[in-house]
């Protein structure tokens, strides 16, 4: 289980261990960061996600380069070949209509060859960008949560869709009134809060998965 960057790590670990014996019981992904191919999805443009992925990639690369960040934010950080190969996994047209209302997809701009050379090994690595994994079969039952006010909303939805397409049982819940970072486990927020509702739903999912395992022959 993990949220945001932790959701990225949880998704990556689940993919690495999908043929583990014994298998993973489940994965819980809370507004996970699962791709850095397209930082111009509707939720990025609507909720000022400019800082998220450059900072996220800097974690893996160990440094922050403003020119690389600029290329990422403007979509020039990958070659046409990589874009064409993986764009089917980050297709905004698969999002609910309400999520893309008023959205106009930006024009593709010329590739920054220096940025692409540096970033493409990270962009195409499914252990950094789990949404771009070519094979999602064999993953455990999944709970995936997104919130309305969050730059990561759309990629979470797209990952849930891809998991479902791969035949993975997915419980997807969206909290339209929620914000990124609103799900600290153990919070004492009141029962009407988004945090309380998210925690309650997570605990229920985990309890049901554990119970189902205990009663299995």
Any catalytic annotation for residue 65? no
CA–CA dist 173, 203 (Å, integer): 14
- Widest Cα–Cα separation across the chain: 58
Give the 3-state secondary structure of residue 147: strand
Any catalytic annotation for residue 74? no
| Residues contacting 38, CB < 8 A, separation 6+ | 75, 87, 90
Any catalytic annotation for residue 150? yes
Per annotation, catalytic residue among 3, 14, 43, 180: 180
| Residues contacting 6, CB < 8 A, separation 6+ | 30, 32
Per annotation, catalytic residue among 3, 4, 36, 141: 4
Per annotation, catalytic residue among 112, 141, 150, 154: 150
Query: Cβ(32)–Cβ(216) under 8 Å?
Result: no
Q: Among all residues, which ones are annotated catalytic?
A: 4, 150, 180
């Amino acid at each position: 289980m993990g949220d945001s960057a932790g959701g990225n790590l949880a998704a990556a670990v689940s993919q690495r261990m999908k043929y583990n014996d014994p298998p993973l019981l489940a994965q819980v992904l809370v507004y996970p960061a699962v791709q850095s191919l397209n930082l111009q999805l509707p939720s990025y443009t609507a909720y000022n996600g400019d800082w998220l992925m450059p900072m996220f990639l800097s974690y893996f690369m160990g440094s922050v380069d403003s020119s690389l960040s600029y290329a990422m934010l403007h979509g020039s950080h990958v070659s046409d070949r990589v874009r064409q190969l993986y764009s089917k996994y980050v297709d905004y047209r698969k999002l609910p209509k309400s999520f893309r209302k008023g959205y106009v997809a930006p024009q593709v701009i010329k590739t920054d060859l220096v940025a692409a050379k540096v970033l493409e090994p990270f962009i195409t690595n499914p252990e950094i960008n789990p949404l771009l994994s070519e094979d999602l079969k064999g993953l455990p039952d999944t709970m995936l949560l997104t919130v309305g006010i969050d730059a990561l909303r759309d990629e979470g939805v797209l990952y849930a869709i891809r998991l479902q397409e791969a035949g993975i049982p997915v419980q997807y819940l969206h909290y339209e009134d929620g914000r990124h970072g609103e799900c600290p486990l153990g919070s004492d927020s009141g029962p009407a809060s988004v945090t309380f509702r998210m925690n309650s739903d997570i605990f229920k999912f985990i309890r049901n998965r554990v119970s189902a395992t205990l009663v299995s022959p």
